Amino acid sequence: MPKAPAKRGGHAKATRSAPIPTEKTSKGSPKGKSEHKPRDPTHSHLYTDDNPSTTIHGTGFKDAEAARRTLDLISKRSLTYQFQTVNTMFHRAKHHPAMKAKKSSTEGEEGGGSGGMKEAMAIFREWLDQTYPALKTGMRGEGGFKPLLSKKTVEKYLPQVEASSTVSEDGKSFAGMYVSLGKGKRLGNVLVDDSKPTESDWEAKRYAVLCELVREGKEDIKSWKNDELWEGDKQVSDLHLQLIAWAWSPLQERKLP
């Protein structure tokens, strides 16, 4: 019994000598496959050319001019996309090798070394800390007519939407796209026109249309009359169907038939 502690110590020693999973070992990894690496938080699919035709070209963080140009290029996209872009650019600049290198005599020159990147970071930081919160607060319907109706609910109304003479073609296109949207994919990353990456994405388009369909002050169910939402016994009105096509209703989703 007195030797029990010694056994525990021996066991711990054996555990420490075992290979750590994150290190390369001669066994346990399939031949020809690269070692798994943790995801780099500074890397974003927004700036890879997996689909060059939908990538916004011209964004950057090397100096103040590049930062301002970036904000201008993304100005017509949804707030979600704008945040993704600015946040990614800020962190790319922050973690750039030039920011970690020792200061040189040329770093303070405009557009050179880390000096230009610091100016770009300041512009992006101001957008993240001031502009973004202000824009988000100013959006209607709980930050952009949210929560969205589920894909399952919109799909249930899809036959009515497609057959409707009051739902616009854009509304029908959105509804069809939304119900088939891949898991985890955001509307802010799906362009209305793939050939125009600096123009509206579906999240921005949805918000703009709902702002037109829903009058100011009617973002809450208390502002709606029964005959505005229904026709007959649990038959949604034409206006209500238009709203549903854009994945929104003033009603709680569970109350929709």
Which residues have a Cβ under 8 Å from the Cβ of 113 and sit 6 or more positions away? 98, 101, 103, 104, 106, 107
> Would you list the DSSP string of 28-50?
SS-TTPPPP----TT--GGGS-S
Cα gap 62→114, rounded to integer Å? 8
pLDDT tops 70 at residue 20: no
pLDDT, tens digit, 9 for 90 and up, residues 80-128: 999 999 999 999 999 999 888 745 544 444 445 689 999 999 999 999 9
Integer Cα distance of 83 and 78 in angstroms: 9
Predicted pLDDT at 232: 82
* pLDDT for residue 175 is more than 70: yes
Place of tokens 């994945």: 247
- Interval 57-70: pLDDT, tens: 999 999 999 999 99
Task: Look at residue 178 and tell me whether its pLDDT is greater than 50.
Answer: yes
Average of per-residue pLDDT across 154-169: 98
Give the model's pLDDT for residue 252: 94
pTM: 0.76
Crossing angle of helices 169-179 and 151-163, in 10° steps, is: 150
Report residue 149 CA to chain centroid gap: 18
Report which listed range, 91-105, 197-211, 225-239, is most confident: 197-211
